[in-house]
């Protein structure tokens, strides 16, 4: 295609990126997905609905996940849409919120997500920690699984390839399906360069998880989303998303 050829239209896409735990590479994988989607012609926006752990820098509260997602997005949006709940304390969001006198509620997240969908063709939402993390310790109890259900988008699971990942991956896949959400695919992220039998563990995941593997991200001293984008396969993810959308439209009709 010539550099001046019109980019063909793309179907709107959104997904929720969860992981087998905190620190497994959700942010790295989400940024890589954003880069891959942009390479496929999408206008992209990352979202981190709730982030805990930030510091005052250059006139605003800075959180690494939010910064990485914004750097990997192709559309410039207000910070409050990328992250409607940016908390300071680096701990579980419900505890950080309680410390700071904030209540994490659904409406601002829904509004920010809807705003991003109007500006971008593809929205990649990074969860918090693992699949089920509390968001509120008060009367309105809800967690990150409820958040994924509220957004009603397919889920991508990042598996940090390290000891314990087989159990965590199968349990997380079960939890996603138990909430009625499709597991659109999983990404193997090699977070431990010294892991014994890493390839065999990944083979076991292929055999255990009834969902497509979207790719493997190699261990990198300084993980770079742009460089890793070519390692992800988008076709199974986009197909799962359009199946889910068609099913949802069928149910609504």
Ligand X SMILES: Nc1ncnc2c1ncn2[C@@H]1O[C@H](COP(=O)(O)OP(=O)(O)O)[C@@H](O)[C@H]1O
x-or-dash string of contact with ligand X, 23-42, rule CB under 6 A = xxxxxx--------------
Which residue lies nearer to ligand X by CB, 24 or 238? 24
Residues 52/65, Cβ–Cβ less than 8 Å: no
Q: What whole-number distance in Å separates Cα of residue 208 and Cα of residue 206? A: 6
Check residue 90 for interaction with ligand X (CB under 6 A).
Answer: no
Q: What whole-number distance in Å separates Cα of residue 225 and Cα of residue 165? A: 22
Which residue lies nearer to Mg ion by CB, 27 or 201? 27
3-state secondary structure of 233: coil
Q: What whole-number distance in Å separates Cα of residue 47 and Cα of residue 65? A: 9
Among 35, 48, 70, 117, the active-site one is 48
Which residue lies nearer to Mg ion by CB, 27 or 54? 27
Active site residue 48: yes
Cα–Cα nearest to 208, from 190, 188, 193, 189: 188
- The partner in contact with residue 191, picked from Mg ion, ligand X, none with C-beta cut-offs of 5 to 8 angstroms by kind, is ligand X
Check residue 65 for interaction with Mg ion (CB under 5 A).
Answer: yes
Residues 73/45, Cβ–Cβ less than 8 Å: yes
Question: Is there a binding annotation on residue 180?
Answer: no
Q: Which active-site residues does the annotation give?
A: 48
Q: Which residues are annotated as a binding site?
A: 23-28, 52, 65, 126-129, 189-190, 220
């Amino acid at each position: 295609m010539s550099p001046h050829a019109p980019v063909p239209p793309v179907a709107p896409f959104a997904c929720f990126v969860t992981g087998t735990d905190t620190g497994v590479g959700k942010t790295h994988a989400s940024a890589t997905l954003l880069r891959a989607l942009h390479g496929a012609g999408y206008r992209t926006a990352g979202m981190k609905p709730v982030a805990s752990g930030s510091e005052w820098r250059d006139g605003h509260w800075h959180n690494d996940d939010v910064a990485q997602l914004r750097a990997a997005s192709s559309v410039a949006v207000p910070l409050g849409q990328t992250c409607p709940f940016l908390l300071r304390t680096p701990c579980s969001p419900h505890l950080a919120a309680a410390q700071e006198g904030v209540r994490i509620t659904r409406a601002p997240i829904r509004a920010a997500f809807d705003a991003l969908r109007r500006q971008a063709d593809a929205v990649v939402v990074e969860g918090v920690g693992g699949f089920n993390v509390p968001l509120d310790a008060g009367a309105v109890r809800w967690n990150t699984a409820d958040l994924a259900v509220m957004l009603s988008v397919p889920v991508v699971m990042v598996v940090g390839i390290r000891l314990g990942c087989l159990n965590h991956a199968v349990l997380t896949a079960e939890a996603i399906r138990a909430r009625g959400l499709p597991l659109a695919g999983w990404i193997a992220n090699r977070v431990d360069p010294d892991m014994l039998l890493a390839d065999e563990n990944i083979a076991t995941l292929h055999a255990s998880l009834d969902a497509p593997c979207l790719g493997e991200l190699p261990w990198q001293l300084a993980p770079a989303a742009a460089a890793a984008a070519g390692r992800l396969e988008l076709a199974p993810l986009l197909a799962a998303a359009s199946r889910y959308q068609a099913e949802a439209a069928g149910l609504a009709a």
